[in-house]
C-alpha cells in the first residue's frame, strides 16, 4: 500500500513541492531554506525518495534536518528520517511477516514490551513502525478475540528460560551496550500487564454482566464525562458485523476498536483522569525522577511498603497515573531486590490461572520480581494473587482506609502492583508481557478463532482449569469490616467501597449491596437494565463475585493486600 512510489508521481515532484496538497508550515519545527518555506507532508513520491536516497548516499544517515537544506527536499528532517528508516533504507524486508518473525516479535515483546525500535534491531529488515503496526493489529486482534496475547509456547518459554536468558541474552547485551543500564525491558511490569490478564480473565469463566456496564457507566457517565469510556452493552449496540468474538468483551467495543484494551484506557490513560471525576485531588506527580530515585517505589504515601506494615490510609501523594519509569536497575540492584529466585513453575501459573486469588503466602512483594522479566513477573503476580486471596480469606482487611482514588490509581489494593506500576512504563515492557503471559496461560472460555484453547495448547500436566471466578474466596464477615472502615463522610466512600471490595478479588460491593443502592448510584434505568441483562431480580448477585469480570476491574482492583 504504497502511497508514494507510483511512477506517475515522479513527474509530480516539482509540482508537489510547490503545490502539494498537504504542505504545511513545517510541523516538524524546521524551516526551509531559511525563508520559512513550507514543508510538504503526506505520501512521499518516488522522486522525493530518490532525492532522499541520493542525499543519504552522499552524506550518510543522520543530521536529517540538513536534508532539506542540502537536497532541496521540502520535507522536515523528522519526516526524512522516518521515510528513510521505514522505506528507503537498504535491506529492508517488505511483505508480510514470516512465521518466525511473528514468533520473534511476540517473544521480543514479551521481553521488551513496546520497545519497537529495539525489537526491530532483532528483526533485520524490519522497522519499528512495521512491528508496531503488526503488533497493534494482528497481535492485539488476538486479544480482542479473547485469544492469549502470547502463544503458549512463548509463555512456556518464558517460564522455562527467562531466568537463564535474563542475564545473558542478547537483549540485555543490547541494553547494556546501548544504554549502559539494564533498562526496564526485562523488569518492568506495567499496569497494562495486568490489563491483558484481566481481559483474559474476564472471559475466563463467566459471562460478563451488566455490572460491567454499571461500573463503567458510573465512572464514565455518572462520575465524569472526561473518561470517554463508552460502554456498549452486549445486547445494546452490537456491531453490524462481528468479525471477532467481541461478545467475549462486551462493552469493550470502543476500547478495542481503538486497539487499546479497556484497561489500557482505564488505567494507563485514565487513571490520571479518573480521580478528577471522583473529586479526588491526589496530585499527579509528574516528577518521574523522584520515582527513579526510589528503587522500590517506596513513595511517601504510597503503599510500596504496605507489606512492611505501612498503612494505606495515607492518601497517596504520588502519581495517580502509574507511569513507571524505566527499571534501570543494575543486575546488582536487581539481585538485591530480594526477588525469590524461583524456578519457573507451572504450578504457579496454574495456580494463578485456576484461581487468581488462590491462597499463598505473602511475599516480599515490594521487591519486584521483574528482575527476571516475564517469568518472575508471572510468578510474582501469581504469588501476589495467592497472597491476596489468602489475606482476603482471612479477612484481615483491617487497618487500611482505602480511598477510591487508591483503587483507581491502583495504589492501594495491591501494594506490589502499585509499585510495579510505579516503576513500570505505561508502555510497558514486559508490560503487556506478563499480562500476556498470564493471558497465554489463561484458558479462554470462548472459542478461538485460529488457535486452540490454551488449555489444549498447554503441555500436558499444566493442569490449567477453567475455574469460575465465583470460586474465589468470598468475604463475608470481612465485608462488614471493610465497610465499617470506610469513611462515609467522603463523597466517594460508597463507590469506593465497591471498588475496594472488588479490588480484593472478591467482587463484592460491600456498600452497594442492594438494588436500591445501586439504583441510587446508577439511576433506575441502568439498574433495571442491569437486572434485565443479568436476569436477576436483585442486584446483589450482579455485584457479587463473578459478576464483575476481572477484565472490567481497574488495575488496582486486582487484589487487596491488606495487612
Q: Which residues bind DNA (CB under 7 A)?
A: 1-4, 24, 27-28, 40-44, 61-66, 75-79, 81-83, 85-87, 96, 113-118, 120, 128-130, 132-134, 136-138, 141, 179-180, 239-241, 243-244, 257-260, 264, 268-269, 288, 325-326, 426-427
Cβ-based nearer residue to DNA, 82 or 158: 82
CA 224 to chain centroid? 22
Cβ-based nearer residue to DNA, 78 or 465: 78
Proportion of the chain in helix, strand, coil states, percent, rounded to 5: 50, 0, 50
State phi, psi for 40 to the nearest 5 degrees. Answer: -80, 145
Closest C-alpha among 266, 376, 368, 381 to residue 325: 368
**To the nearest whole angstrom, how small is the minimum distance from the Cβ of residue 563 to DNA?**
33
Cβ-based nearer residue to DNA, 43 or 125: 43
**To the nearest whole angstrom, how small is the minimum distance from the Cβ of residue 313 to DNA?**
30
Cell, residue 363: 511475599
Cβ-based nearer residue to DNA, 2 or 14: 2
Per-residue exposure over 62-87, b if at least 16 CB sit within 10 Å of its own CB, e if not:
eebbebbeebebbbbbbbbbbbbbeb
Question: What DSSP state is assigned to residue 296?
Answer: T
**To the nearest whole angstrom, how small is the minimum distance from the Cβ of residue 365 to DNA?**
26
Query: Bridge-partner residues for 40, per DSSP?
Result: 23
**To the nearest whole angstrom, how small is the minimum distance from the Cβ of residue 91 to DNA?**
15
**To the nearest whole angstrom, how small is the minimum distance from the Cβ of residue 26 to DNA?**
8
Contacts of 412 (CB under 8 A, 6+ apart): 303, 312, 316, 400, 402, 403, 406, 418, 500, 503, 556, 560
Cβ-based nearer residue to DNA, 190 or 546: 190
Cβ-based nearer residue to DNA, 434 or 493: 434
Residues 247, 203 contacting (CB under 8 angstroms): no
CA 230 to chain centroid? 18
Number of helices (H) and strands (E), helices first, in the chain? 29, 2
Cβ-based nearer residue to DNA, 267 or 403: 267
Cβ-based nearer residue to DNA, 109 or 561: 109
Contacts of 514 (CB under 8 A, 6+ apart): 538, 539, 540
**To the nearest whole angstrom, how small is the minimum distance from the Cβ of residue 117 to DNA?**
2
Cβ-based nearer residue to DNA, 49 or 479: 49
**To the nearest whole angstrom, how small is the minimum distance from the Cβ of residue 458 to DNA?**
26
**To the nearest whole angstrom, how small is the minimum distance from the Cβ of residue 132 to DNA?**
5
* H or E stretch at 23: strand 23-24
State phi, psi for 39 to the nearest 5 degrees. Answer: -115, 140
- Cα separation, 166 vs 158, in Å, equals 10
Give the relative orientation of helices 477-485 and 493-503 as an angle to the nearest 10 degrees.
140
Cβ-based nearer residue to DNA, 54 or 61: 61
- Cα separation, 537 vs 547, in Å, equals 14
**To the nearest whole angstrom, how small is the minimum distance from the Cβ of residue 185 to DNA?**
9
- Cα separation, 172 vs 183, in Å, equals 8
**To the nearest whole angstrom, how small is the minimum distance from the Cβ of residue 215 to DNA?**
22
Amino acid at each position: 500500500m504504497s502511497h508514494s512510489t507510483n511512477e506517475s508521481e515522479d513527474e509530480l515532484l516539482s509540482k508537489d513541492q510547490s503545490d502539494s496538497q498537504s504542505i504545511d508550515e513545517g510541523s516538524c519545527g524546521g524551516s526551509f531554506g531559511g525563508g520559512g518555506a513550507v514543508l510538504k507532508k503526506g505520501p512521499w513520491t518516488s522522486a522525493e525518495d530518490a532525492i532522499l536516497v541520493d542525499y543519504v548516499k552522499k552524506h550518510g544517515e543522520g543530521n536529517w534536518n540538513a536534508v532539506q537544506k542540502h537536497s532541496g527536499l521540502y520535507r522536515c528532517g523528522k519526516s526524512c528520517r522516518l521515510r528513510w528508516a521505514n522505506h528507503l533504507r537498504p535491506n529492508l524486508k517488505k511483505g508480510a511477516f514470516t512465521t518466525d518473525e511473528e514468533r520473534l516479535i511476540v517473544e521480543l515483546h514479551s521481553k521488551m514490551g513496546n520497545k519497537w525500535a529495539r525489537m526491530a534491531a532483532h528483526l533485520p529488515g524490519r522497522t519499528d513502525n512495521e512491528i508496531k503496526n503488526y503488533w497493534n493489529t494482528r497481535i492485539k486482534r488476538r486479544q480482542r478475540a479473547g485469544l492469549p496475547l502470547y502463544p503458549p509456547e512463548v509463555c512456556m518459554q518464558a517460564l522455562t528460560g527467562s531466568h537463564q536468558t535474563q542475564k545473558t541474552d542478547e537483549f540485555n547485551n543490547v541494553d547494556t551496550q546501548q544504554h549502559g543500564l539494564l533498562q526496564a525491558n526485562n523488569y518492568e511490569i506495567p499496569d497494562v500487564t495486568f490489563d491483558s490478564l484481566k481481559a483474559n480473565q474476564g472471559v475466563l469463566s463467566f459471562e460478563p454482566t451488566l455490572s460491567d456496564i454499571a461500573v463503567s457507566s458510573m465512572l464514565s457517565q455518572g462520575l465524569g464525562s472526561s473518561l470517554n469510556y463508552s460502554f456498549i452493552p452486549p445486547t445494546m449496540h452490537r456491531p453490524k458485523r462481528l468479525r471477532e468474538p467481541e461478545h467475549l468483551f462486551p462493552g469493550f467495543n470502543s476500547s478495542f476498536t481503538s486497539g487499546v484494551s479497556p484497561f489500557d484506557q482505564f488505567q494507563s490513560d485514565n487513571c490520571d483522569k479518573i480521580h478528577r471525576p471522583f473529586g479526588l485531588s491526589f496530585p499527579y506527580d509528574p516528577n518521574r525522577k523522584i520515582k527513579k530515585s526510589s528503587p522500590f517505589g517506596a513513595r511517601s504515601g504510597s503503599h510500596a511498603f504496605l507489606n512492611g506494615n505501612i498503612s494505606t490510609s495515607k492518601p497517596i501523594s504520588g502519581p495517580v497515573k502509574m507511569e513507571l519509569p524505566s527499571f534501570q536497575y543494575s543486575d546488582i540492584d536487581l539481585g538485591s531486590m530480594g526477588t525469590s529466585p524461583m524456578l519457573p513453575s507451572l504450578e504457579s501459573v496454574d495456580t494463578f490461572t485456576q484461581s487468581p486469588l488462590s491462597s499463598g503466602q505473602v511475599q516480599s512483594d515490594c521487591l519486584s520480581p521483574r528482575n527476571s522479566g516475564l517469568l518472575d513477573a508471572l510468578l510474582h503476580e501469581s504469588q501476589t494473587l495467592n497472597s491476596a486471596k489468602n489475606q482476603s480469606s482471612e479477612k484481615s482487611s483491617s487497618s487500611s482506609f482505602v480511598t477510591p482514588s487508591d483503587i483507581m490509581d491502583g495504589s492501594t489494593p495491591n501494594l506490589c502492583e502499585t509499585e510495579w506500576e510505579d516503576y513500570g512504563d505505561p508502555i510497558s515492557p514486559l508490560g503487556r508481557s506478563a499480562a500476556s503471559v498470564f493471558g497465554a496461560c489463561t484458558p479462554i472460555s470462548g472459542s478461538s478463532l485460529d488457535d486452540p484453547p490454551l488449555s489444549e495448547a498447554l503441555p500436558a500436566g499444566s493442569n490449567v482449569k477453567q475455574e469460575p471466578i465465583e470460586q474465589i474466596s468470598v468475604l463475608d464477615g470481612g465485608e462488614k469490616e471493610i465497610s465499617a472502615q470506610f469513611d462515609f463522610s467522603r463523597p466517594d466512600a460508597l463507590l469506593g467501597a465497591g471498588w475496594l471490595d472488588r479490588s480484593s478479588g472478591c467482587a463484592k460491593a460491600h456498600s452497594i449491596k442492594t438494588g436500591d443502592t445501586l439504583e441510587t448510584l446508577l439511576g433506575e434505568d441502568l439498574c433495571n437494565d442491569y437486572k434485565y441483562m443479568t436476569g436477576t431480580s436483585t442486584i446483589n448477585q450482579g455485584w457479587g463475585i463473578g459478576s464483575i469480570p476481572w477484565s472490567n476491574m481497574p488495575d488496582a482492583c486486582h487484589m487487596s493486600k491488606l495487612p
